[in-house]
Amino acid sequence: MDLGRGWTRVVVEVGPGEAELVADVLWQFAPAAIEEQDTADTTVLLAGFDDPAQAAAAATAAQALSVRNVQLVPVTDDGLDGWRAWAAVERAAPFVIVPPWLHPPAMVPGEHLLWMDPAHTFGSGSHPTTRLVLGRLVSLITSTTTVLDVGCGSGVLAIGAALLGAARVDGIDVDPESPSATKANAQRNGVGASVHASTASLASVAEAGATYDLVLANLLAPVIVELAADLASVVAPTGMLVVSGLLSDQWEQATGALTGLTVADVALSDGWAAISLRPPPAHERPNS
């Protein structure tokens, strides 16, 4: 999840009689407008924000009300993609993230060029949470590492892992546009054969019994808490989970839900945190 720049829509699905309360909470974050769409048994609220950080804060507040579903969606329905005029090269060591319509800067030894067009998904590489996770990859990727990127967006984290030599990278996201964006960017970076993207749910991956050496989850704190059990279950016994999208003074509240995993590393930047967690050693596990 990269919050990026530009207009963002918070989409909240609520049950009967909940719309007014949730709308009141959303209005506290100063959206430009809130649209209400009613169906037979649910109401969808769509709140538009010109500040992605405000949108993220509003989504967190709505999630705390235990509504049915909350999503952050980039606003692209003007058809102009005007944000591209302000796109810039982003350095996220060891990567230099470059929109394909710009020229790459001079590279220094050890840097990796990462072409990235987020299209209509999250993932420009500009947000501190994305940079924090990218920075962790160097010490965690080998030629045999399998990676799961939960909420892959445009694929920036998945592609970063592949560029560092990961054996296989799977990206999943609820956004229906995410797989095509991730696949296009993977091809653009020459790692199309090792990066695979779909709209499979994390629950379905967990139910299938799949595990990965490295699991990446750059998500909002309430979403990490909601997915905690499945996130922990898809980490291989000797693997690592890296979660981000967490405020630096509140990360313990979210990671506390990841029972069975212990904190191995905390990285901080610009008020945000990325936390690396691992399963306990074999001799400390129940029934070991």
pLDDT tens, residue by residue, 64-85: 888 888 998 876 554 445 556 5
Predicted confidence at residue 40, as pLDDT, reads 67
Domain that includes residue 260, residue range:
127-284
Question: For position 198, which CATH number holds?
Answer: 3.40.50.150
- Tell me how far apart the 2 most distant CA atoms of the chain are, in Å: 59
> Distance between the two ends of the chain, CA-based, in angstroms?
36
CA torsion through residues 224, 196, 160, 81, sign: negative
Both structure tokens of 79: 């058809």
Q: Please tell me whether residues 273 and 141 are part of one structural domain.
A: yes
Quick one: 277 and 152 in the same domain?
A: yes
18 falls in which pLDDT band (50, 70, 90)?
A: confident
pLDDT digits (tens, 9 = 90+) for 187-212: 999 999 999 999 999 999 999 999 99
User: In the beta sheet, which residues pair with residue 14?
Assistant: 43
Q: Please give the structure tokens belonging to residue 215.
A: 């699991």
Q: 2 versus 146: which is more confidently predicted? A: 146
Residues 139 and 274 in one domain: yes
Q: Does residue 148 sit in the same domain as residue 62?
A: no
Beta strands 146-150; 168-172: pairing state: parallel
Distance CA 42, CA 60 (A): 20
pLDDT of residue 283: 55
| Residue 200, number of CB atoms within 10 A of its CB | 17
User: Within a domain: residue 137?
Assistant: yes
In angstroms, how far is CA 229 from the centroid of its own chain? 17
pLDDT exceeds cutoff 60 at 5 = no
Let me know how long the chain is: 288
Number of neighbours of residue 278 by Cβ within 10 angstroms: 17
Give the chain's radius of gyration (CA, Å). 19
Give the mean pLDDT of 257-273. Answer: 92
Mean pLDDT, the chain, rounded, equals 87
Q: Answer yes or no: is 243 within a domain.
A: yes
Residue 27's CATH number: 3.30.2130.10
Summarize the confidence of residues 116-121 as an average pLDDT: 76
169 beta partners: 147, 195
